[in-house]
Structure 1
Amino acid sequence: MVRISALRRTGYKKSEASREQVIDAAIRVLAKQGIAGTSVQDIADAAGLSKGAVHYHFESKEELLERVLDRCCEIVEARIRAVFAEGGLPLERIHRALVEMWTVRRDSVREMRVLTELHILARQNKRIRKACGEALQRACRQMIDTGLDQLLAMGLKPRVSVEIIPRLIMATLDGLALQQEIDPVSPETESEMIRALQATTMALFEL
Structure 2
Amino acid sequence: KVIQVTSSIAGEGKSTISTNLAIALASIGKKVILVGMDLRKPKIHKIFDISNKAGVTSFLIGKETDVSNLITPSKVHENLHVMTAGPIPPNPSELLSTSKVSELLKPLTNNYDFIIMDTSPCFLAADTFNIARYSDITLYVIRSKMADLRMIPQIQEFHDTGKLPKVSLVINAVNFSKNAYGHGYGYGYGYGYGYGVEENEKRKKRLN
Q: TM-score, normalised by structure 2?
A: 0.25
Higher relative contact order (CA 8 A, sep 6+): 2
* Greater share of residues in helix: 1
* Greater share of residues in strand: 2
Q: TM-score, normalised by structure 1?
A: 0.25
